[in-house]
Structure 1
Amino acid sequence: MAFFKKYNGTTNARLLRVERAIWVLIYGGLLSIVLGAFIDQQEAQDAGLFYNLGGLAVVAGVVLIYVRSRLREED
């Protein structure tokens, strides 16, 4: 008996693209925020750009999670 429920994914290409975009946006945005924190001491203006773009990417990923939860897989 498995502790976690196995998820095999979807076979719908549109939903698969949305699921991949979610993770790319969230992890890419978080990476951008971390990079902004590292360069904050040298170039404050560039760090602000990293913070803003990273934050927007994370927010877009979270919005796509909501959108994906409302989409249904057609058989």
Structure 2
Amino acid sequence: MPKLRSTEPSKPHARLEKWIWLLIYGGLFAFILGFATSRTDAALGWSIATPGAIAAAVGVVLIYVRSRLKDDKQ
């Protein structure tokens, strides 16, 4: 009987995927919160929105990095 390959990522890859989605969703939430806050206080709003946008962009870049990593399980 052939060995079935597991679809679950290895532990380091799973940790990376957790960080990816945390950065994307957390960054988008912070960006939207900062954008909404900028209507009443522009400096505060953009100081919240800018790191949020950067965090979301880092998450997207990490998706590319994850796609280029080789799986240890075979």
TM-score scaled to structure 2, two decimals?
Answer: 0.83
CA–CA separation in structure 2 for the residues paired with 1:50 and 1:22: 20
Look up the match of 2:8: 9
Q: Which ranges of structure 2 fall in alignment gaps of 5 or more residues?
A: 1-6
Question: What is the CA-CA distance between 1:9 and the residue it aligns to?
Answer: 3.0
1:1-41 per-position Cα deviation (integer Å, ceiling 9, x unaligned)? xxxxxxx531x111001101110000001000110122112
Residue 43 of structure 1 aligns with an amino acid whose one-letter code is D
Match of 2:45 in 1: 47
- Structure label with greater radius of gyration: 2
Q: Which amino acid aligns with 1:19?
A: E
Contiguous gaps of at least 5 residues in structure 1: 1-7
Match of 1:66 in 2: 64
Distance 1:52 1:14 in 2: 29
Alignment size in residue pairs: 67
Q: Percent identity of the aligned residues? A: 39
TM-score relative to the length of structure 1: 0.82
